[in-house]
A and B are shown apart, each in its own frame.
Chain A
Amino acid sequence: MGSMTIAKGINNGLRAAMERDPKVVLMGEDIGKLGGVFRVTDGLQKDFGEDRVIDTPLAEAGIVGTAIGMALRGYRPVVEIQFDGFIYPAFDHIVSQVAKMRARSLGKIKLPMVIRIPVGGGIGAVEHHSESNEAYFAHTAGLKVVCCSNAEDAYWMIQQAIESDDPVLFYEPKRRYWDKGEVDESAAPRPLLKAQVCREGTDLTLVAYGPMVKTCLQAAEAAAAEGKNLEVIDLRTLSPLDLDTVAASVEKTGRTVIVHEASTFLGMGAEIAAALQQRCFYHLEAPVLRVGGYNLPYPPSKLEEEFLPDLDRVLDAVDRSLAF
């Protein structure tokens, strides 16, 4: 039990996985001596050596492509992509190879690999450093996509992702890396592929994941001061989606607002909204609303606060839903 940042939670989780299984190897740019640009792998090369914590050449297609080969040879590679905007050179390998190899072999091979991606904006960065591209991968059958939002999940989910025999894209909310939370390293973890109700309420369900969970919890807090009782769900897994948990909540509250940094157009919210109107049609008291990034390239950092959903935009949607 202890308080730690999300970054440290992942670091400890990686360490635990590496201690448990000698086949776990880390690959990525600057992850060795430097410990990654976010220091998530800090100290691991020193303790596990250069064969297990590999500073790769600067080539993302190469990182993921060779990780596939390592996985074929029985390893469990955990790949770090330095920033969300640099996953695209590896897109072909992820979509055409990682996602499909199991099916192509008629189940004879597996690719137990994890691709870690710091995701989202809000850190004042230059272009390509603030993207939310989870929907591309959630759209791709054959991949699992998860996203942690707090230190406890960071610690456990990374280990569960590594233990999964299927390839997992593991999103890390970079602007929350330094947020602290309690981590009980001896408790039994929640299942990886389940959403979590992280605040109970009766009036409306806020659905979020990653960096927006904190925003939604703050919104719920603010709404409570006005007598509105919001439920907040942290999706945790984006593919597969745990729609049972979401639907159960929406059947109770009758209203929902889905929040993510990614553009709303064909974003995760679109899929959830479609599913909810099928599953909860007679329970809905208002249209399912979405709050997300605009359908634009991520703007220069001076404008990112206008672009990203914030407390006000979430509360605005809550009011519109409640007023319906």
Chain B
Amino acid sequence: MSDNAVASSGSTAGTSPAEDEVLAELTAPVPEVGDGGPEMIQLLTPEGQRVENTEYDEYVKDLTDEDLRGFYRDLVLIRRVDAEATALQRQGELGIWASLLGQEAAQVGSGRAMRPQDYAFPTYREHGVAWCRGVNPLNLLGLFRGVNHGGWDPNEKNFHLYTIVIGAQTLHATGYAMGIQRDGDVGTGDADRDAAVIAYFGDGATAQGDVNESFVYAAVNNAPVVFFCQNNQWAISEPNERQTRIPLYQRARGFGFPGVRVDGNDVLAVYAVTQQALNAARSGNGPTFIEAYTYRMGAHTTSDDPTKYRVSAEVEVWKHRDPIERLKSYLVHTQKADQAFFDALEKEGDELAVAVREGCLSMPDPTPDSMFDHIYVEEHPVVEAERKEFAAYHAGFEGEGSH
């Protein structure tokens, strides 16, 4: 994943910038910050005004006020979990954390568009999708705390393990979709049976060979897979221009399937666009590429120091496009939620944060010999021999009081 490993290796990253750096920052020209352009699908403006859209309105027209409050609750709670995880990392309880700050709507909108039988293949940042799939946030922490490599059962919630090697999961998602297709679980018209897959990845990942190959495989197989790219404008320190010279959604056309850009900070629009794409996939109409245009509000990970490569003026522009604020303002001015709702949610968030913290702190360390477990399905002589050797070696220390 990420890692700006400098901080964890003891360098000075993260200390306050020198005076000349501060001055350079103040005098630097404000960069041009893209707004997604006229083709970007948006149903809620940053101010929370509902924009009509003849193509996509139908996908949100049946949403009840309760559904909308549910989206809001998801956004708020996952941000709370994320903030708590960041704090836990700062306190040394996690080795590293990849924050989703700013990308909540992209994840909740797409996650809520899925049906139980659909399957998600995430990167390492899809905490909001995990939340929507019902994965316990504590499961996510294990990998970042270093007690396991993920360890949850992907088939329990149809949410695959986090994948750190950039882009690899897009091929796995495509293959999984090919399996669904061969099982005949596409295009039957049975809403509880037809299934699709979502492959999540970032803007940087679009450069990888694996990702481009997955587009080819999905296209020629007409596989029921939705490629969901969160374009958060940055791949660690590299901006979009280092990965592409065409808006990402337009790439899909060259591979032979539709591409759409959606305002990734607008949960309604993301929900609508993903519904449409998943419906197409489930009914046998093949893949869609969704580019959720959003922004990584924080550092790449807790080890990263973004002041090295981007100016805060850019972050300021995106603050005004916050996914939570816009839905809140919509809920308030349409009177779909009252103060009691917001108050109760805040309390729920606090309780969740406490649960996450306590759950993290009480997570047992793995026992040393557990590293020999689960390597193979069948018993393996080398593993067993080394397991014994390991035990004998440690037995040699017993009684020494050291160790």
A61/B209 contact (C-beta < 8 A), A34-B309, A296-B371, A296-B383 known:
yes
Q: Is the CB of B237 within 8 A of A30?
A: yes
Take A55-B238, A306-B371 as given contacts and tell me if A37 and B382 are in contact as well, using a CB distance cutoff of 8 Å: no
B238 touches which one: A58, A88, A128, A295 (CB < 8 A)?
A58
Contacts A126-B164, A302-B147 given; indicate if A39 touches B11 (C-beta within 8 A). yes
Q: How far is the CB of A321 from chain B (nearest CB, A)?
A: 15
Q: Is the CB of B149 within 8 A of A37?
A: no
User: Is B238 a contact partner of A30 (Cβ separation < 8 A)?
Assistant: yes
What separation, in Å, do the CA atoms of A299 and B368 have in the docked complex? Answer: 10
Given contacts A265-B382, A300-B147, contact A39 B237 (CB under 8 A): no
Stretch at the interface among B138-146, B314-322, B348-356: B138-146
User: In residues 279-324 of chain A, which contact B (Cβ within 8 Å)?
Assistant: 294-297, 299-303, 306-307, 312-313, 316
* Interface residues in B, total, Cβ within 8 A: 53
Q: Taking the complex as formed, is B340 at the interface, i.e. its CB lies under 8 A from any CB of chain A?
A: no
Residue among A58, A265, A295, A316 with the highest chain B CB neighbour number at 10 A: A58
Asked whether A128 lies within 8 Å of B9 as measured between CB atoms, the reply is: no
Least CB distance from A53 to B in Å reads 13
Which secondary structure characterizes the binding site on chain B? loop
Could you tell me if B146 and A58 are in contact, using CB atoms closer than 8 angstroms?
Answer: no
> Given contacts A89-B209, A294-B371, is CB(A301)–CB(B5) below 8 Å?
no
- Contact at B236–A129, with CB atoms within 8 Å? no
Query: How would residues 1 to 32 of chain B score, 1 for a CB under 8 Å from any chain A CB and 0 otherwise?
Result: 11111101111010000000000000000000
Q: Does A201 contact B (CB under 8 A)?
A: no
- B393 contacts across to A, CB distance below 8 A: 313, 316
Please indicate the chain B residues that have their CB under 8 angstroms from the CB of A181 in the complex.
Answer: none
Cβ of A316 and Cβ of B396 under 8 Å apart?
yes
Query: Chain A, interface size: which category?
Result: 35 or more
Question: B299: shortest Cβ distance to chain A, in Å?
Answer: 12
Q: How far is the CB of A23 from chain B (nearest CB, A)?
A: 23
Contact A126–B309 (Cβ < 8 Å): no
In the assembled complex, how far is the CB of residue B248 from the closest CB belonging to chain A, in whole angstroms? 13
Instruction: Give the nearest-CB partner of A32 in chain B.
Output: B237
The reply on A33 being an interface residue by CB < 8 A is yes
Q: Do A38 and B5 have beta carbons less than 8 Å apart?
A: yes
With CB as the reference atom, state the residue of chain A lying closest to B202.
A58
Min CB–CB distance A38 → chain B (angstroms): 6
Q: Which chain A residue has the least Cβ–Cβ distance from B365?
A: A302
Q: Which residues of A contact B3 (CB under 8 A)?
A: 37, 83, 125-126, 129
Contact (Cβ within 8 A) B5 A58: no
The answer to whether A301 touches B95 (Cβ under 8 A) is yes
Tell whether A126 pairs with B1 under 8 Å between CB atoms, given A58-B235, A294-B386, A302-B147.
Answer: yes
Q: A178-B9, A297-B375 are contacts. A57–B210 as well, Cβ < 8 Å?
A: no
Inside 8 A of A58's CB, which chain B residues have their CB? 166, 204-205, 207-208, 235, 238, 243
- A177 near B: Cβ within 8 Å? yes
B51 interface hit (Cβ, 8 Å): no
A300 with B383: CB separation less than 8 A = no
CA distance A189 to B286 in the complex (A): 61
- CB < 8 Å neighbour of A37 from B145, B208, B236: B236
- Inter-chain contact A174/B205, CB cutoff 8 Å: no
Which chain A residues (126-179) contact chain B, with CB distance < 8 Å? Answer: 126-129, 174-175, 177-178
Complex interface: chain A residues within 8 A of B124 (CB): 126
- Specify which chain B residues have a CB less than 8 angstroms from the CB of A86 in the assembled complex: 165-166
CB proximity of B95 to chain A, nearest CB, Å: 5
CA distance A62 to B242 in the complex (A): 13
**A296 near B375: Cβ-Cβ < 8 Å:** yes
Q: Are B6 and A38 in contact (CB under 8 A)?
A: yes
Q: Are B95 and A125 in contact (CB under 8 A)?
A: yes
A174 touches B5 (CB 8 A): yes
Q: How far is the CB of A176 from chain B (nearest CB, A)?
A: 10
Asked if A123 is at the interface of the complex by the 8 Å CB criterion, the answer is: yes
Q: How far is the CB of B323 from chain A (nearest CB, A)?
A: 25
Choose one: A33, A61, A127, A175; the contact of B237 (CB below 8 Å): A33
Closest A residue to B368 by CB, please name it. A306
Tell me which of A29, A88, A302 contacts B145 (CB under 8 A). A302
- CB–CB A85/B165 < 8 A: yes
Question: Is A267 close to B, CB under 8 A?
Answer: no
Q: Which 6 A-B pairs have the closest CB atoms?
A: A301-B146, A57-B207, A34-B237, A58-B204, A299-B371, A33-B309
Tell me the A residues contacting B by CB distance below 8 Å. Answer: 29-30, 32-35, 37-39, 55-59, 61-62, 83, 85-86, 88-89, 123-129, 174-175, 177-178, 265, 294-297, 299-303, 306-307, 312-313, 316
User: 20 new A-B pairs (CB below 8 Å) besides A39-B6, A126-B3?
Assistant: A30-B237, A34-B236, A37-B236, A37-B303, A38-B5, A58-B235, A61-B209, A85-B165, A88-B165, A89-B209, A125-B5, A128-B165, A175-B9, A178-B10, A294-B386, A294-B390, A295-B386, A306-B368, A312-B397, A313-B393
| 12 A–B contacts from the bound complex (CB under 8 Å) | A29-B235, A34-B236, A34-B308, A55-B237, A58-B205, A85-B165, A123-B9, A126-B3, A126-B143, A127-B164, A302-B365, A307-B371
